[in-house]
Amino acid sequence: MNAMLKSGIDGLDEALDGGFNSPSTVLIAGTAGTGKTTLALQILFNAVRNGETCLFVAGVSEPIMCLNRHLSAFSFFDPDLEGVHFLDVGDLLLMRDDVMRVLTEEIESIKPDRVVIDSFLDIAGKSFMYDLVSYMKKSNTMLFITDTFTREKIDRHYIASLVDGIMYLSSDDGHRYVSVLKMRGQNISTKRHSFKFTGAGIEVFPRIKPEAITAVSNRKISLGVGGIDQMMNGGVFEGDSTLVAGGPGTGKTLLGLQFIHEGAVHGEKGLIISFEESPPEILRNVRHFGVDFESMGDMVKIIHPYTADMIPDEHTLLIKREL
């Protein structure tokens, strides 16, 4: 029976419907600089911190010494961490030496739970990769292969039919995405999921899966303004989304704040997400209308996200976490 291994990256595990089936082989593909090696190593280090033994095999694109220099800025990266092993086979590949023998000896020596093989598909050849994937499955080892591909090239390459899963990293107009193109035996969405680099590594913001609406509420909720409630026959329906629109200074924000206050005084918690006014400004302004949110403790929460470099899916995840 296959085990489910997590990536340790919350948003990615959600996009993967829990993690990776193991043993299996997953290709992490993308063009140069999209974060393939970073993602693979972050998954390895997360696993090592969870008690697993892991092996990273460097091919011809980047020797181990360069990896240490390029990835040292990420907090997850610690080459001295017990349980993570590194093997550089770049020179052996270029000399067409017996790479398979070196790999199997290393694997049988350390018995890793997960292995990453970085950038040597073109040099290794098809027969080598078939033998390698077969060996990994017999060894009950989770294998990640990273390599450079355009999206169009993947479908035509033999590796697409050989591996169990494919994750494709891309960038478009300054935004980064990971697409799970396939993952055998798992209920995954093939839509693009946004991600970005942080000091901790890669953070993934999975697309929210729409839930089927099986029932609706007939309960009306007061907006906190008697006249408007009367106009709307008692308020708005619970569960509905309502847009309050108007020109500057027409009272849009004030109506929203009154709605939150009305809920709070009746024991319903409220969340205010403000993109312009800061929490102190909101608290000051609403106080002029006789409302004191501060005295309500945790019944009312105000967040003021910095949106200059925030992506839509990140904003959605922020709201989901607060709710």
Q: Is 2 a residue whose pLDDT tops 80? A: no
Looking at per-residue confidence, does 310 or 244 come out higher? Answer: 244
Pair 42, 167 in one domain: yes
**Parent domain of 281:** 243-322
Q: Name which of 96, 86, 4, 83 is nearest 37 in CA terms.
A: 86
Domain identity same for 11 and 138: yes
Mean pLDDT of 147-174: 93
Q: Does residue 106 sit within a domain?
A: yes
Whether 61 shows a pLDDT value over 70: the answer reads no
Instruction: Look at residue 230 and tell me if it is in a domain.
Output: no
Structural tokens at position 108? 């049988």
pLDDT at 209 over 80: no
Residue 178 lies in a domain: yes
Looking at the chain, the whole-number percentage of residues with pLDDT higher than 70 is: 95
Picking from 205, 226, 254, the residue at the C-terminal end of a domain is: 205
| Per-residue pLDDT band at 69 (split at 50, 70, 90) | confident
Report if residue 226 sits inside a domain. Answer: no
Residue 231 lies in a domain: no
Does 92 score more than 80 pLDDT?
A: no
In sequence order, which residues have a C-beta less than 8 Å from that of residue 140 and are 6 or more positions away? Answer: 22, 23
Distance, in Å, from the CA atom of 14 to the CA atom of 203, rounded to the nearest integer, reads 12
Q: What is the mean pLDDT of residues 8-35?
A: 93
Mean pLDDT score, 45-57: 96
Asked whether residue 210 is assigned to any structural domain, the reply reads no
Q: What would the two tokens of residue 276 be?
A: 């312009």
- DSSP-derived secondary structure letter, 171: E
Residue 243 neighbours by CB distance under 10 Å: 5
pTM metric for this prediction: 0.82
Calculate what percentage of the chain has a pLDDT beyond 90. Answer: 66
- Sequence length of the chain is 323
For the sheet containing 25-30, what is the strand order?
Answer: 84-88, 54-58, 114-118, 142-148, 25-30, 165-172, 175-183, 192-198, 201-205
